[in-house]
Amino acid sequence: MNNSIFPVAVFFYNRPEHTLKCLNHLSECIDYQSFSFFFFSDAPRDVSHSESVEAVRNLLKSQNKFFKAKLIFRESNYGLARSIHDGVSSLCEEYGSVIVVEDDLRVLPDFLIFMRQSLLKYQSNDLIMQIGGLPLIKPLDTSKDAFFLPLTTTWGWATWSRAWKYFSWTPADWPESLDDKRWLKLFDFSTSISYLSMLRDRFSGKNNSWGILWWYCVSRSGGLVLYSTYPKVLNDGFDGSGTHCGINPIFANQLASGTIQNDTSTVFNLPDKIAYKNNDFYSVKLFLDNRPSSILHRLLRKISSVFNF
C-alpha cells in the first residue's frame, strides 16, 4: 500500500444536480487537496441520456480546477457494476487501496481523513476488508469513533487490494456454500433480509448488482467492516431520481448527534479489538425487521445496486 497517495474514485452518470452537490461536498472535505481524485463518467446507455451525460462531463471539467482529478470518460456504457469493478480494481492494483464515492452521495467534511486514518491503521489486518461511512445503526458503545459489523456497504467506502482481490463475478464455492448453515444465517442476517434471493437473482442474470457479490465474498471470507460511529455520508439516491424514497427519515436520528472533526490534526479513536459486538449485530437486525415493507424494499434495491447507470 502506498502510504503517501490515497486515491478517491468518484463515479458519475447522468445527474448534473447530484454531481454538483457531490463535488461541492468533496471540496469542503478537510485536507482534500492531499488526496488523488479519479472521476469516472460512464457513457450514455441510450440516446435519451446523451444530453445529461454531456452536462455532467462539462461540470466535471469546469470543477476540476479544484480537484486536479484524472478524468476517465468512458466511450461505451459500462453500467454500474462494471464501472465500479473496473475503477476499484485498477486503483487498488496501482495504489494498494481506494476510497469510493458515487454521485448521489454527499460526504461530510471529515469523511476523507476518517477514511485515510482507517486505511492506515488496519492496512495489515486481513480480517478487516472494508471501511464504511454510513452505518445503518448507532452502536451501543459510542466511546469510539468507529465499530465493526460483519456486513458490507456500497455507500461511501474504502478498501485495500488485499481484500478486493476476493471479489469474483463467479465465486468458486457457489453453490456448495448453500450447505453451510452457519454462513447462511449470517448472510441473510438471521432471516431479516433475503440477501440470498438477491444473490440468486444476480447469478441468474435478473439483477446486475456488484454489491451483493461483494457481500458474498466478504462474508465467505469471514471479513469485517469498520463503520464510523456516526454517519459521514448523506445519501441523495432516494429522492426520486433513484428509487423514489427519502433517505433522511431513516438516518436523521443518527446524523443529529454526530460531531464533525474539523482539522487535519484530528486523531480518530479507532478500536484496537477486532471483533463485532452481538448487540450491534442485533440492532441491525431490528432495524431491518422494523422497516415498513415498502421502504425496506426500496432500501434493499438501493443496497444491492440493482439499477445500472
Our CA angle for 133, 209, 220, nearest 5°, is: 75
Mean per-residue pLDDT, 216-220: 97
Paired with 282 in beta bridges are none
**Which amino acid does the sequence have at 175?**
P
pLDDT at 246 over 50: no
- What's the pLDDT score for residue 72? 98
The pLDDT of 174-195, averaged and rounded, is 86
Cβ atoms of 249 and 235 within 8 Å: the answer is no
Q: Which of 51-65, 77-91, 190-204 has the lowest mean pLDDT?
A: 190-204
Grade residue 253 by pLDDT with cuts at 50, 70 and 90. Answer: very low
- 7 pLDDT exceeds 90? yes
Q: What's the pLDDT at 132?
A: 98
Prediction pTM value: 0.90
Cite the beta strand spans of the chain per DSSP E: 7-12, 36-41, 70-73, 97-102, 105-107, 128-132, 146-149, 157-160, 224-228, 233-235
Give the three cell numbers for residue 168. 469474483
Provide CB contacts within 8 A for 177, sequence distance 6+.
171, 183, 220
Q: Is 254 exposed, middle or buried (0-12, 13-18, 19+ CB in 10 A)?
A: middle
Mean pLDDT of 189-196: 74
- Residue 188 pLDDT level (bands cut at 50, 70, 90): confident
Helices 211-220 and 195-203 pack at an angle, to 10 degrees, of 110
The region, left, alpha or beta by phi > 0 then psi within -120 to 50, assigned to residue 227 is beta
Region of 217 (left: φ > 0; alpha: ψ -120 to 50; beta: rest) is alpha
Q: Which residue type does 219 have?
A: S
Query: Is the predicted pLDDT of residue 181 greater than 50, yes or no?
Result: yes
Residue 273, number of CB atoms within 10 A of its CB: 8
Mean pLDDT score, 206-223:
96
In sequence order, the β-bridge partners of residue 225 are: 130, 149
Confidence bin at 1 (pLDDT 50/70/90): confident
Has residue 172 got a pLDDT over 80? yes
Average pLDDT over residues 279-295: 75
pLDDT digits (tens, 9 = 90+) for 124-161: 999 999 999 999 899 999 999 999 999 999 999 999 99
**Residue whose C-alpha cell reads 459521514 in the numeric block:** 232
